[in-house]
Amino acid sequence: MDPLALRGRWSASRQGWVLPARERLRQVADALPANGAAAGGLAEAPAAYDAKPESFNRRKKAAQNAGHRNRLRKRFLEAGSASLPDYELLELLLFFAIDVADTKPLAKELLERFGNLGAVIRAEPGQLAEFDQLRRTDPDIDAYLAYRLSDDYERDRRAPAEGLSEAGRRIRELEIVREADPERAEDWHWEKMRLWRRRETEILFRVLQQMMERVLREEIQARPVIGSWTALLDYLKAVLAHEPVEQFRLLFLDRKNVLIRDEVQQRGTVDHTPLYPREIVRRALELQASALIMVHNHPSGDPTPSRADVQMTKQVVAALEPVGITLHDHVIVGKNRHTSFKTQRLI
């Protein structure tokens, strides 16, 4: 009896034949002799095959406990983060998003692509998908992710086959087609792996970014901003230095120059942000602010003020003066440096 005639397939990972239904298994069992002797005509396993890796859980455990990962963790804990170059620090961080893979090549590629750690952490999902370990090549993967994150997925987990949602039926059909072809099933598995790696990496980076911003914001809260200028600049660089489009922020201060509110006033294109002085005055009066600091970034990386920047700043000063509100400074943030209008005596 040939298992292929029963629509069976050889599983290299299980090292046995996999049949599509119990009835087919019973047919094979009936063909076997009762005394355990070899059944005449029963197909043998393929004489030669490429052994596949062991199960994902085993690979995950092996990767997590791999010597290199443990050595890197140990060096970080014992020698401190200063002992690690940027790519190793990023490699260590990626351990938390990627279970089964060597993350060193990816860490180096990310730094080469974006230039520094700050830009890596602020990378967009589409940019992350450019990398092999995080890429998407199957057009059905986006639909799969949308389904897995939907309420339909939770309902379908408890529903019979005839009660599946439309999205659930489509995803199930895709999986059945791929399961019928071992090579396509393996490809589908790894595409899903890349999908979840990218999603977890994106979440990890965004959480880290938010934590950095909040920690730095805490350094400038409940104290006079003018006396904490270095901390303020650190915060502004973390928030704006790697923004891909121009963003205009207002820092509203009370009579003691303590921060009341930090707000994004406008977002523009890569080189232009519309600004309306009357809106700034209106918002400052609403918050009962006594002073403010204007901040925006130059996505080009060069914080040199343009003629439009200087003219706009003068318009804001003129609008604030009649209501007794002071503009302390206008700061332009670039990639690696900043410009202060007050330092440059532009206000």
- 3-state SS string over the chain? CCHHHHCCEEECCCCEEECCCHHHHHHHHHHCCCCCCCCCCCCCCCCCCCCCCCCHHHHHHHHHCCHHHHHHHHHHHHHCHHHCCHHHHHHHHHCCCCCCCCCHHHHHHHHHHHCCHHHHHCCCHHHHCCCHHHCCCCCHHHHHHHHHCCHHHHHHCCCCHHHCCHHHHHHHHHHHHHHCCHHHHHHHHHHHHHHHHHHHHHHHHHHHHHHHHHHHHHHHCCCECHHHHHHHHHHHHHHHCCCCCCEEEEEEECCCCEEEEEEEEEECCCCCCCCCHHHHHHHHHHCCCCEEEEEEECCCCCCCCCHHHHHHHHHHHHHHHHHCCEEEEEEEECCCCEEECCCCCCC
pLDDT 10s per residue in the chain (347 long)?
Answer: 555 565 666 665 556 666 666 666 667 677 766 655 555 555 555 555 454 555 555 665 565 556 788 888 888 998 887 888 999 999 999 999 887 778 999 999 999 999 889 889 988 888 888 888 887 666 677 777 778 778 888 888 888 888 888 888 888 777 776 667 776 676 777 777 777 888 889 999 999 999 988 888 888 887 888 888 999 999 999 999 888 889 999 999 999 999 999 999 888 765 555 678 889 999 999 999 999 999 999 998 899 999 989 999 999 999 999 999 999 999 999 988 999 999 999 98
Residue 49 pLDDT: 47
Residue 58 pLDDT: 61
Residue 148 pLDDT: 78
Residue 254 pLDDT: 94
Domains of the chain: 1-52 (no CATH), 56-212 (no CATH), 226-340 (3.40.140.10)
Residue 259 pLDDT: 92
pTM, 2 dp: 0.63
Residue 269 pLDDT: 60
